Amino acid sequence: MEKLIVKSPYMERATEMIKNAIGKKIALLEHSRQHTRKNLEKFENKYNITSEKFIDEWAAEDLEGKDMEYVEWAGEYHCLISIDEDLKVLNSLEYVVT
């Protein structure tokens, strides 16, 4: 496991600020995840397939809205992947004060 070292003459306050900032970022990402998930569910319900299957097997020609709908759905899916990766990283952080 790699370490990130933060030094400050105000370590207690700096630690509090960093934890607070990361907590707010996690909350924002979780809210974004819920919103993105709802958007994906609309497509999944409309076409009765999962987003994963859509990404792996479908093309714009398979959708009623063609290119625009494909770009929207794919964009939402990739956004969710990115959000999940960011949440994984932030939730894995461990605070060690020495």
Summarised one tens digit per residue, pLDDT across range 58-89 is: 887 888 888 889 999 999 999 999 999 999 99
Helix residue spans in 9-98 (DSSP H): 11-47, 51-57, 66-91
**Per-residue model confidence as pLDDT tens digits over 3-30:** 888 999 999 999 999 999 999 999 999 9
Cα-based angle 33, 40, 23 (whole degrees, multiple of 5): 0
Predicted TM-score of the model (pTM)? 0.87
Q: Which residues neighbour 58 within 8 Å (Cβ) at sequence distance 6 or greater?
A: 49, 70
Please check whether residue 83 is in contact with residue 33, taking contact to mean a CB–CB distance below 8 angstroms. Answer: yes
